[in-house]
């Protein structure tokens, strides 16, 4: 029961590492270093730990920059998703200004806690379309077709709905569908989509879903109405306490570099990240007998590799870092789903602004959540999905006849991957101010298969300093053409809702339908959707877009080092990334166990 009487069992660097860092050769084999079998860097990988830690003699060290943040508020769906509230466990740093977008700067947001992004995200659970993985498999990634990875989705999932094919029911990661829409415009939006001929599909998370459809989203919320993050699912207090002798969870700790002997990784250096910064001179080292597994995310993983001398040679030399392995793919090929929001004014009680602007209403909703487990505090920020394939629309945005032919919209075929998502969200999804007392319904139009690429490069050799992130949005002109279409479709849905009698007025929309006005709108409204990926992509080292890890997630040319997070995705998936991140973690665990010599 909450609150726990025993605190979550975390340790600090002095408890688990040897001070001063990497032992010199004269120390003999690792001197007095603390020794573990595996060192895991980055707390999203916690999904692996209960499974890797099969044998009682296996010792694991987990290093995470954020904290355990094991509080009641961190489980309330709406409160924990309000990532901009002070004290929320996030990294927030500006991206490189983009000249092609009038130099406007947006912020990157990432989770900083055990469980990474799953602690603060929108709780949307989507595996993505089978075609995405089948495309990887077609391009040579062995073991990564949808049929091959589906068991790893099933293993982790504890679906709370009816027993249907393709879902997991016994896993610790709870997912559910709500049988009603919490807010009126969400329901009216589904009606409008139906009127436009967009089919409603029962279950986005099965291969039977067509490449163009809408429907109700699965959310990672458990039966008691709590957020079910990867932390809650895979390393709850009971598991952490049970394993504390052989699993050391070291929070508030930044890994600063991976340490080598020749081309073999032998351990990790790290320090405690105090609010005031690192304590001078307090560096620690721990030795990894078997492997180091990096899962610091698409921004953190390339940063740690480059700080350790693995990355593009010229860049490392420029930063004065000794090159251990020249790997041009590290930090290259940053992919992200760029988004642009159109927004409409709606009645206040029809949007989340009601909670912000009406304190009494907020208290009422809160009590409803507390005592009945209902209401807006339980509601996921996005409750419905709308995935579209642009080629199925005529220029006037009516649907082509073939969109009704199941063989033409079979989303297991790499030919048929949706390229647009429209996210209906009952809140302000832009940087602009919305007057108090105004309700908002937004349509966040997102490119699912962007062609533009960015990069992550070191801004400083200080591991606590955010790297330079160039998102490269719209550097490929095809993305701008597609985004215009996505905005036009968003506006079309809004018009349909209005035509069907729902009261919505323009709040943030393009001045006209001309390409020039749409482009101006894109430049002033573009944003990230927090789906950073592919900066250590799984592909051959000499691929035209160079890879960093092989099909077993081992870093090319370096022994005893794997990566398991969204950075390894060969290209961005056409969907939200937390479920794929967990699938990657489960598959990595499986491969680590397969590759572990039996003793
Ligand atoms: C605001 C927001 C909303 C989102 N909404 C959704 C959604 O609704 N559905 C969905 O599917 N996806 C969503 N996402 C995306 C999803 O959460 C991420 O794609 C996913 O969590 C990425 O997982 P990851 O393992 O790659 O990295 P992360 O989750 O970023 O985890 C990396 C971890 O490594 C730690 N770390 C980094 N560097 C170091 C270091 N040097 N030493 C020690 N630790 C380190 C970090 O602190 C972090 O905890 C959202 C993301 C955000 C930010």
Please state, in angstroms and as integers, the Cα–Cα distance from residue 316 to each residue in 276, 323, 359, following that order. Answer: 28, 6, 53
Sign of CA dihedral 86, 41, 583, 210: positive
Assess whether the C-beta atom of 570 lies below 6 angstroms from ligand 1: no
Q: Which atom of ligand 1 is nearest to the CA of 254?
A: 42
Alpha carbon distance 586, 285 (integer Å): 27
How many A from CA of 456 to the centre of ligand 1? Answer: 16
Confirm if 345 and 439 have CB atoms less than 8 A apart.
yes
> What is the crossing angle of helices 477-499 and 515-525, to 10°?
100
* Interatomic CA distance for residues 517 and 338, integer angstroms: 18
Question: DSSP for 142-200?
Answer: TT-SHHHHHHHHHHHEEE-S---TT--SSSSEEEB--SS-SSHHHHHHHHHHHHTTPPB
CA of 106 to the centre of ligand 1 (A): 18
What tokens were used for 591? 């491969």
121 appears as a binding residue in the annotation: yes
Domains and CATH numbers, the chain: 1-73+100-175+228-331+456-463+532-599 (3.50.50.60), 178-216+339-449+472-527 (3.30.410.40)
Whether the CB of 64 sits within 6 Å of ligand 1: yes
Q: What is the pLDDT of residue 53?
A: 66
What pLDDT, on a 0 to 100 scale, did the predictor assign at position 18?
Answer: 73
| Burial of residue 592 (number of CB atoms within 10 Å: 0-12, 13-18, 19+) | buried
**Ligand 1: distance of its center to the CA of 297 in Å?**
6
The answer to whether 39 touches 268, Cβ cutoff 8 Å, is yes
Mean pLDDT by 10 residues, the chain (599 residues): 71 81 45 84 81 80 94 91 86 92 91 95 95 96 97 96 91 93 95 95 90 94 96 93 92 95 95 74 89 97 98 98 97 98 97 94 95 93 93 89 84 92 96 93 98 97 95 97 97 97 97 97 96 98 97 98 97 96 94 80
pLDDT of res. 280: 60
Ligand 1 in reach of 198 Cβ (< 6 A) = no
CA of 438 to the centre of ligand 1 (A): 32
Cis peptide before 3 (omega within 30 of 0): yes
296, 387, 448, 574: which to mutate for ligand 1, most atoms within 8 A of CB? 296
Give the residue ranges of DSSP H helices in 243-325.
297-307, 313-318
Residues 6 or more apart whose Cβ sits within 8 Å of residue 79: 73, 85, 377
Residue length, the chain? 599
Mutate to test the pocket of ligand 1, among 16, 91, 106, 121 (most ligand atoms within 8 A of CB): 121
What is the best residue among 78, 93, 117, 227 to mutate for testing ligand 1's pocket, by most ligand atoms within 8 Å of CB?
117
Whether 83 is in the pocket of ligand 1, judged by its Cβ within 6 Å, is yes
Could you report the per-residue pLDDT of 381-417, keeping only the tens digit for each? 999 999 999 999 988 888 888 888 888 888 899 988 9
Say if ligand 1 is within 6 A of residue 124 CB: yes
For residue 215, the model assigns a pLDDT of: 93
Q: Ligand 1 centre and the CA of 67: distance in Å?
A: 14
Please tell me if the CB atom of residue 218 comes closer than 6 angstroms to any atom of ligand 1.
Answer: no
Determine whether the annotation assigns residue 122 to a binding site. yes
Q: Closest ligand 1 atom, CA of 380?
A: 8
Q: Residue 282: its pLDDT value, please?
A: 80
Could you please report the per-residue DSSP string of 316-351? HHHTTPPPSEE-TTTT-SBB---EEEEEEEE-GGGS
* Catalytic residue list: 531, 576
- Asked if residue 308 has its Cβ within 6 Å of ligand 1, the reply is no
Residue located nearest, by CA, to atom 50 of ligand 1: 121
> Which residues share a beta bridge with 416?
none
Q: CA 356, CA 375: separation in Å to the nearest integer? A: 15
Q: Which residues contact 382 (CB under 8 A, 6 or more apart)?
A: 122, 124, 217, 423, 424, 425
Query: Nearest 5 degrees, angle CA 89-CA 90-CA 94?
Result: 160
The atom of ligand 1 lying closest to the CA of 532 is: 19
Q: State the distance from the centre of ligand 1 to the C-alpha of 103, rounded, in angstroms.
A: 26
Atom number in ligand 1 closest to CA 91: 47
């Amino acid at each position: 029961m909450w609150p726990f009487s025993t605190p979550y069992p975390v340790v600090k660097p002095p408890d688990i590492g040897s001070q001063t860092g990497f032992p010199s050769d004269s120390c003999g084999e690792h001197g007095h270093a603390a020794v573990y079998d595996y060192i895991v860097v980055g707390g999203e990988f916690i999904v692996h730990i209960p499974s890797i830690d099969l044998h009682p003699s296996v010792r694991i060290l987990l290093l995470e920059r954020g904290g355990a943040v094991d509080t009641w508020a961190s489980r309330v769906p709406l409160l924990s998703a309000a990532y901009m509230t002070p004290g929320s466990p996030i990294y927030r740093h500006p991206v490189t200004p983009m000249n092609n977008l009038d130099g406007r700067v947006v912020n990157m947001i990432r989770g900083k806690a055990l469980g990474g992004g799953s602690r603060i995200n929108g709780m949307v659970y989507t595996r993505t379309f089978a075609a995405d993985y089948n495309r990887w498999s077609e391009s040579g990634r062995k073991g990564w077709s949808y049929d091959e990875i589906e068991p790893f989705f099933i293993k982790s999932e504890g679906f709370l709905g009816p027993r249907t094919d393709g879902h997991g029911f016994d896993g610790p990661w709870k997912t559910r569908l709500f049988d009603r829409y919490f807010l009126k415009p969400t329901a009216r939006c589904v009606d409008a989509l139906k009127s436009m001929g967009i089919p409603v599909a029962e279950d986005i998370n099965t291969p039977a879903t067509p490449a163009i459809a809408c429907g109700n989203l699965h959310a990672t919320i458990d039966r008691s109405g709590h957020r079910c993050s990867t932390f809650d699912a895979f390393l709850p207090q009971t598991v952490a306490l049970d394993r504390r002798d052989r699993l050391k969870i070291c929070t508030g700790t930044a890994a600063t570099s991976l340490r080598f002997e020749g081309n073999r990784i032998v351990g990790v250096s790290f320090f405690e990240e105090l609010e005031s910064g690192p304590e001078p001179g307090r560096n620690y080292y721990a030795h990894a007998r078997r492997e180091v597994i990096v899962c610091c995310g698409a921004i953190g993983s390339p940063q740690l590799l480059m700080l350790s001398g693995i990355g593009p040679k010229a860049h490392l030399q420029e930063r004065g870092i000794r090159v251990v392995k020249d790997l041009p793919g590290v930090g290259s090929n940053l992919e992200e789903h760029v988004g642009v929001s159109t927004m409409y004014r709606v009645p206040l009680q029809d949007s989340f602004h009601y909670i912000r602007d009406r304190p009494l209403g907020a208290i009422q909703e809160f009590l409803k959540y507390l005592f009945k487990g209902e209401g807006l505090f339980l509601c996921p920020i996005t409750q419905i999905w709308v995935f579209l394939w642009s080629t199925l629309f005529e220029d006037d945005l009516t649907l082509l006849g073939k969109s009704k032919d199941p063989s033409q919209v079979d989303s297991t075929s790499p030919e048929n991957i949706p390229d647009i998502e429209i996210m209906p969200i009952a809140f302000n999804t832009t940087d602009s101010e919305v007057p108090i007392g105004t309700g908002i319904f937004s349509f966040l139009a997102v490119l699912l298969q962007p062609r533009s690429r960015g990069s992550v490069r070191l801004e400083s050799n200080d591991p606590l300093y955010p790297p330079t992130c160039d998102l490269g949005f719209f550097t490929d002109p095809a993305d701008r053409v597609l985004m215009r279409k996505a905005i036009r479709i968003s506006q079309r849905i809004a018009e349909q809702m209005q035509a069907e009698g729902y009261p919505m007025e323009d709040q943030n929309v393009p001045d006209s339908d001309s390409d020039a006005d749409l482009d101006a709108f894109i430049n002033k409204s573009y944003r990230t959707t927090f789906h950073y990926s592919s900066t250590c992509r799984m592909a051959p080292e000499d691929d035209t877009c160079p890879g960093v890890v092989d099909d077993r997630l081992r870093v090319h040319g370096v022994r005893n080092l794997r990566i398991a997070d969204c950075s390894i995705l060969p290209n961005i998936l056409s969907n939200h990334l937390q479920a794929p991140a967990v699938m990657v973690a489960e598959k990595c665990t499986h491969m680590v166990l397969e590759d572990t010599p039996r003793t």
